Structure 1
Amino acid sequence: MCGIFAYLNYNVARERGYIAEVLFNGLRRLEYRGYDSAGIAIDSNRSGFVGTSKTAESAGIDRNEVSKSNSISIPYNHPLVFRQEGKIDSLVGSFYEEVESLNLNLEEQYSIHAGIAHTRWATHGVPSPKNSHPQSSGVEDEFLVVHNGIITNYEVLKETLIRQGFTFESDTDTEVIPKLAKFVFDKAHDGDGDQTVTFSQVVIEVMRQLEGAYALIFKSPHYPNELIACKRGSILLLGVKELTEDVTTRSLFHDVKTLTRNGKPKELFFSSDLCALVEHTKNYLAIEDNEVVHLKDGCVSIFKFDYVTEKPASIQRALSFLEMEVEQIKKGNYDHFMQKEIHEQPQSLTTTMRGRLKGKSVILGGLKDDIKTIRHSRRIIFIGCGTSYNAALAARPFLEELSGIPVTMEIASDLLDRQGPVYREDTAVFVSQSGETADTLLALDYALENGALCVGITNTVSSTLARKTHCGVHINAGCEIGVASTKAYTSQIVVMIMLALDIGDDKVSTKQRRETIIDGLYNLPNIVREVLKLDTAMKDLAESLMDEKSLLVFGRGYNYATALEGALKVKEVALTHSEGLLAGEMKHGPLALVDETLPVIVIATRDGCFSKQQSVIQQLHARKGRLIVMCSQGDVSLACSTGFCRSIEVPQVEDCLQTVINIIPLQLLSYHLTVLRGYDVDQPRNLAKSVTTQ
């Protein structure tokens, strides 16, 4: 997963330094996803380019002045490329050092200027300046590209370009793209024909050669003050701001072309994340797969690419309005985004349920046209990765109980590896916080091909998952900045519980059970506020576990998912080995690990598995296990009846809602353990927020 950002100002004077800072700030808004290098490209006034007779003519130079070698030095705004390993601050520091050494005037103004920027999560090649983006076509930077995704046929393209005389500097798959653009451009301008090639024609021809998933932004001095973006399988957004508009006001314009053809001063943005747009504008467009978006002369042109049509047709697209506030992407009074998002869960759960609980009923507008089909499904398949998979696992027992439909669980990558059977009579429910998780999207394509009804559960309205599924539910948890998902996890569980309630609404036999759960949902945010008061106790527990190298978490029934998710949080942010285990499997191997030194957390709150968990605790005591028991308030004596153990007491709620309550102390534990150990809690080592590579 990489972050891409671009900025174009039109008919409004902006200083070079201002433009650079807009690009840097765009990257800062993306950096929360966890990146390892970054770069930007802006314009200079440096000239000196070797072009062909065709480029000379397009520059207004008589062909007779071209040398016999068919080349000429043509002045143009040579791009300046700045790349650096590390965080954004490293790039900013090196930028200002280079600016000083180049004696570059940051106060110089441009009425039109196109700049691009990138943050990289290394896939091909280690983090380093040469592997950072923008990647270049060569020494003169005739074409520059920033890229999110992966090019699967890059090795074949690289070999072909090497045979054409190109040399490669980086280890990335991306470098083939700008070099391929230069190859297409040079070939089109080779000879004495009068036909010139447009920027969009170059990019479309490049797209014909690429395989894989990508979002791309192109910049070229051959096409000054223009930007082109295209995408296939990776998220990309366009933001549009007229300088006369109020960023908080809903635009009166619907068609993006209508807005941009009026010649008024404006700023245009490309971004891989809404978080980088919200402080500039609320008018945005989610670019679809195989769309090519060309920014030129203050206008936006959109083309639909396909492999058959040589000249893709121009299409019209409507702008959307961003329902997000700037405050959501700031830490406020918290030290870290993860801390903020853990403590925001009463609010996120409230917004998730707002408008969906009506008296003793649940209304999910996004499913109303398909709910009968879901009720008559032969099978419901939950498909996700990581935390989203765990959330689905937490909701599965309740969905089975209310619907009477078999519910199976699939890790997206494993479903694809096995090519597991999916049928037309199935309902496939895809769960993803970002809606851009690569494995989940590939599994979605697979399910669509097999004719299943596809339901999306995501936190991002404009995401690929939201657009590709037949129907779905927006979890509405608010922007989640920390790489480790917290509030999205609990909101996902609540949405899937509401899904179960909606599916089971036609059954008289479960009416009382449904009404009891709905009453519990109304009160859930208040209970979560009570659980968050365990913050200090969890910090104390974290201090006692600071030096431990391993941790086991045992759960059962509804709370098997809690064990998996609690262990995952400790693993991904505190960088401590931890395993979530099914307590019913304890005797079949895991018990061999237990001794007086290994910390073991057992989740033993009151539900149908409580007595079984008491037995687990007794067996662990018999092996002198170092026990930490999570139990319902007042149950310490029952849960730890056979010996000493450390306890975490939580409020008791309905069994299917207990998973929401029980995960919060473990979230707090992982947060404090990470901070105490001195690790970056918001950007864990080697992880990115949304993995869109395969």
Structure 2
Amino acid sequence: MCGIVGILGRRPVAEQLVESLKRLEYRGYDSAGVATLEGDHLERRRAEGKLKNLEARLRDRPLKGSSGIGHTRWATHGKPTEHNAHPHTTERVAVVHNGIIENFRELREELEAKGTVFRTETDTEIVLHLVDELLARGNKPVEAVKLALSRLRGAFALGFIFAGEDDLMIGACNGPPLAVGYGDGEMFLGSDAIALGPFSDTISYLEDGDWVVLTRNSVAIFDKDGRAAQRDKIKHAASTSQVDKANYRHFMAKEIHEQPEVVGHTLARYVDMASERVSLPVKLPFEFREIQRITITACGTASYAGYVAKYWFERMARLPVEVDVASEFRYREAPLRKGDLAIFISQSGETADTLAALRYANAEGAHTLAVVNVPTSTIARESETVLQTLAGPEIGVASTKAFTCQLMVLASLAVVAGKARGELSDEEETKLVHGLVEVPRLMADALTTELQIEKLAHRIAKSRDVLYLGRGTSFPLALEGALKLKEISYIHAEGYAAGELKHGPIALIDETMPIVVIAPHDSVFEKTVSNMQEVAARGGNIILMTDAKGAAEATVDSLATIIMPDMADAFTPMIYAIPVQLLAYHTAIVMGTDVDQPRNLAKSVTVE
């Protein structure tokens, strides 16, 4: 994941920038660079690969400026080359960027029509030229950035320095985190406290939509409406080995809020934004048109990601899919046809049952593919193919961002399968890619439901039992919602397919039971409404998670209706996972449990 650092210092900052970037290496990267203000003009040094390559460039051609920005890049738009590495510069401005500019194509066409020449394959260059054009028209740097930000759509963190402005740096964020570090006659900007640890023990995290104007002796923060804003100053001591909670109470809260960023990074690894096609980062050792069946095996939350993927593969690729929990699969000696595909999903890549199932599939001659967050893990090493999720370190025991990143990888793979098997046309693939590209922004929108959910959690915390219902891809999400609530609040909960309500669970419903209904306005929405009416007739307390159209057509009284953003129905589980996670989190807070380390549970189950 991209890392950003900026320094307004009292001495040459290139070495400090590199040292700070080293503290961001845990995020992963494929190129790096720094830019400093040398006199009144900008200079930069960039290199493909690891930071040692950048250090070699700086030894050969040192930078002496005391104002600078640095960047470690995960390739999104454009290959991981020095040519595409950040910072990007013109004669007037230099920029570093973390995230995805969703409307880069239309902005690029607009700028090209005015004569702008683009020299990289990146979406970041759009930001560069928007600001540069505004500066060329006579706008001052602060005004130019403010106007440019109003044109951008997507999730992003940005850092700017300007030619001739030795005492000025501007930062902005919308989704990916960005922090200000306070010094004595110095000021700092960074992706997290770890990056800023050597320089400052006092930081402020920007909120979504914020932008900040830094000088060596001042910090001016503005919110998305351009109003002056105050953000808490936090005393912090971060070491290189620490993973930081930022200004969140728990790692789980931080990881829920990181999802627009990390899902965006995962998206960028699997989708070619320029061609609007899914492009896997590895060549598959099999042809999807020759696969007759897929077996998906995982444990816990990862298994529910597999259940969602079952719907996607069967709809998009017309491939039959069987999903197993690994602890059952490893012992029942399931018949696997040689040459078919077995997919194994694990955050840690060390889950004992899943690893045993993988070894069985390898022995049976199946093609094996791992979806893991740790590319050096045992499951990754022993699989024929690895598709990495880019969730970053997940500390909270209850999986959140790893789950949604797994969904992004599996959705991308399902599109690849559908295209390879002739079940999806070029136009259909493009439509699906557009849906995937919107996911990080929609997740950020979904996070705005948190205040409503926090209030609702006080009602849920009084319950002994909670029922979750869903249809289609919302059914596995109902299972996941029930698991999350059980894991961290210790309240009994069950997830069911809504159509199964009459086949048993309806006997449980009375006026004391909350029923969480996950129901985007999709092809099965009317059927779900019928099930809600059955619940309402028996006095159940309905908590409806739907969009505006669904809320208008539900015609059922509910305890609460959580309105989600409008979206195409193909990939709703990635967005609806947000309120499901928030409900469990805030209920656990009310219950006073240990959210990050719930009793009896471990992050990675490496023994049977």
Residue 546 in 1 paired to residue 461 in 2?
yes
Q: Where does residue 558 of structure 1 map in the other structure?
A: 473
CA gap 1:530/1:439 in 2 versus in 1, 3 angstroms? same
Q: Where does residue 427 of structure 1 map in the other structure?
A: 341
Q: Tell me the amino acid that sits aligned with residue 477 of structure 1.
A: A
Residue 371 of structure 1 deviates from its aligned partner by 4.4
Residue 375 of structure 1 deviates from its aligned partner by 3.1
SS of aligned partner of 2:468: strand
Q: Distance in 1 between matches of 2:284 and 2:242?
A: 32
SS of aligned partner of 2:338: coil
Q: Tell me the amino acid that sits aligned with residue 565 of structure 2.
A: P
Map 1:435-584 to 2 at 5 A. Answer: 435-506=349-420, 507=422, 509-584=424-499
Map 1:247-262 to 2 at 5 A. Answer: 249=52
Q: Distance in 1 between matches of 2:431 and 2:595?
A: 38
Q: Where does residue 361 of structure 1 map in the other structure?
A: 277
Residue 453 of structure 1 deviates from its aligned partner by 0.4
Q: Where does residue 691 of structure 1 map in the other structure?
A: 605
1:195-250 alpha-carbon deviations (Å, 9 max, x no partner):
xxxxxxxxxxxxxxxxxxxxxxxxxxxxxxxxxxxxxxxxxxxxxxxxxxxx9647
1:292-342 alpha-carbon deviations (Å, 9 max, x no partner):
xxxxxxxxxxxxxxxxxxxxxxxxxxxxxxxxx958811111111000000
SS of aligned partner of 1:629: strand
Contact 2:521 2:549 in 1 (8 A): no
Q: Distance in 1 between matches of 2:242 and 2:526?
A: 43
Residue 352 in 1 paired to residue 278 in 2?
no
SS of aligned partner of 1:354: helix
Map 1:39-438 to 2 at 5 A. Answer: 249=52, 326=240, 329-358=243-272, 359-366=275-282, 368-372=283-287, 374-438=288-352
Contact 1:391 1:489 in 2 (8 A): yes
Map 1:13-32 to 2 at 5 A. Answer: none
TM-score, normalised with respect to structure 1: 0.52
Q: Tell me the amino acid that sits aligned with residue 566 of structure 2.
A: Q
Structure 1 unaligned residues grouped into runs of 5+: 1-28, 30-246, 253-277, 280-324
Q: Distance in 1 between matches of 2:414 and 2:492?
A: 34
Q: Where does residue 629 of structure 1 map in the other structure?
A: 544
Residue 509 of structure 1 deviates from its aligned partner by 4.6
SS of aligned partner of 1:596: coil
Q: Tell me the amino acid that sits aligned with residue 446 of structure 1.
A: Y
Q: Distance in 2 between matches of 1:586 and 1:362?
A: 38
Q: Tell me the amino acid that sits aligned with residue 409 of structure 1.
A: V
Q: Tell me the amino acid that sits aligned with residue 256 of structure 2.
A: I
Q: Distance in 1 between matches of 2:591 and 2:556?
A: 33
Residue 362 of structure 1 deviates from its aligned partner by 0.9
Q: Distance in 2 between matches of 1:665 and 1:687?
A: 23
Contact 2:519 2:550 in 1 (8 A): no
Residue 663 of structure 1 deviates from its aligned partner by 1.2
Q: Distance in 2 between matches of 1:392 and 1:653?
A: 22
1:242-297 alpha-carbon deviations (Å, 9 max, x no partner):
xxxxx964799xxxxxxxxxxxxxxxxxxxxxxxxx99xxxxxxxxxxxxxxxxxx
Residue 550 of structure 1 deviates from its aligned partner by 1.0
Match of 1:595 among 506, 510, 518: 510
Contact 1:532 1:664 in 2 (8 A): yes
Q: Tell me the amino acid that sits aligned with residue 291 of structure 2.
A: S
CA gap 1:435/1:251 in 2 versus in 1, 3 angstroms? farther
Q: Tell me the amino acid that sits aligned with residue 368 of structure 2.
A: C
1:48-106 alpha-carbon deviations (Å, 9 max, x no partner):
xxxxxxxxxxxxxxxxxxxxxxxxxxxxxxxxxxxxxxxxxxxxxxxxxxxxxxxxxxx
Q: Following superposition, which runs of at least 4 residues in structure 1 exceed 6 angstroms of deviation?
A: none
Q: Where does residue 593 of structure 2 map in the other structure?
A: 679
Q: Tell me the amino acid that sits aligned with residue 245 of structure 2.
A: K
CA gap 1:625/1:685 in 2 versus in 1, 3 angstroms? same
Q: Distance in 1 between matches of 2:308 and 2:241?
A: 31
SS of aligned partner of 1:571: helix
Q: Tell me the amino acid that sits aligned with residue 335 of structure 2.
A: P
Contact 1:558 1:655 in 2 (8 A): no
Residue 493 of structure 1 deviates from its aligned partner by 0.5
- Relative contact order, CA 8 A, sep 6+: which one is greater? 1
Question: Which segment drifts farther, 643-652 or 435-444?
Answer: 643-652
Contact 2:418 2:424 in 1 (8 A): no
Q: Where does residue 64 of structure 2 map in the other structure?
A: none
Q: Where does residue 650 of structure 1 map in the other structure?
A: 564
SS of aligned partner of 2:473: helix
Q: Where does residue 68 of structure 1 map in the other structure?
A: none
Q: Tell me the amino acid that sits aligned with residue 564 of structure 1.
A: L
TM-score, normalised with respect to structure 2: 0.60
Q: Distance in 1 between matches of 2:284 and 2:458?
A: 52
Q: Distance in 2 between matches of 1:583 and 1:406?
A: 23
CA gap 1:572/1:496 in 2 versus in 1, 3 angstroms? same
Q: Where does residue 616 of structure 1 map in the other structure?
A: 531
Q: Distance in 1 between matches of 2:315 and 2:558?
A: 36
Q: Tell me the amino acid that sits aligned with residue 353 of structure 1.
A: L
Q: Distance in 1 between matches of 2:240 and 2:262?
A: 16
Contact 1:379 1:425 in 2 (8 A): no
CA gap 1:575/1:509 in 2 versus in 1, 3 angstroms? closer
Q: Distance in 1 between matches of 2:586 and 2:558?
A: 24
Mark the structure with the bigger radius of gyration.
1
CA gap 1:581/1:508 in 2 versus in 1, 3 angstroms? closer
Q: Tell me the amino acid that sits aligned with residue 473 of structure 1.
A: L
SS of aligned partner of 1:557: coil
Q: Distance in 2 between matches of 1:515 and 1:683?
A: 42
Q: Distance in 2 between matches of 1:565 and 1:489?
A: 10
Q: Distance in 1 between matches of 2:325 and 2:476?
A: 14
SS of aligned partner of 1:635: helix
Residue 643 of structure 1 deviates from its aligned partner by 3.2
CA gap 1:548/1:250 in 2 versus in 1, 3 angstroms? farther
1:367-389 alpha-carbon deviations (Å, 9 max, x no partner):
x14241x3311201111011000
Q: Distance in 1 between matches of 2:465 and 2:325?
A: 25
SS of aligned partner of 1:522: helix
1:98-152 alpha-carbon deviations (Å, 9 max, x no partner):
xxxxxxxxxxxxxxxxxxxxxxxxxxxxxxxxxxxxxxxxxxxxxxxxxxxxxxx
Contact 2:316 2:423 in 1 (8 A): no
Q: Tell me the amino acid that sits aligned with residue 335 of structure 1.
A: R
1:564-607 alpha-carbon deviations (Å, 9 max, x no partner):
11111101011111111111111110000011111111111111
Contact 1:402 1:510 in 2 (8 A): no
SS of aligned partner of 1:424: coil
CA gap 1:542/1:449 in 2 versus in 1, 3 angstroms? same
Q: Distance in 2 between matches of 1:528 and 1:684?
A: 26
Q: Distance in 1 between matches of 2:582 and 2:499?
A: 26
Q: Distance in 1 between matches of 2:478 and 2:243?
A: 29
Contact 2:371 2:389 in 1 (8 A): yes
CA gap 1:352/1:328 in 2 versus in 1, 3 angstroms? farther
Q: How many residues align?
A: 377
Q: Distance in 2 between matches of 1:251 and 1:408?
A: 47
Percent identity of paired positions between Structure 1 and Structure 2: 39
Q: Tell me the amino acid that sits aligned with residue 540 of structure 1.
A: K
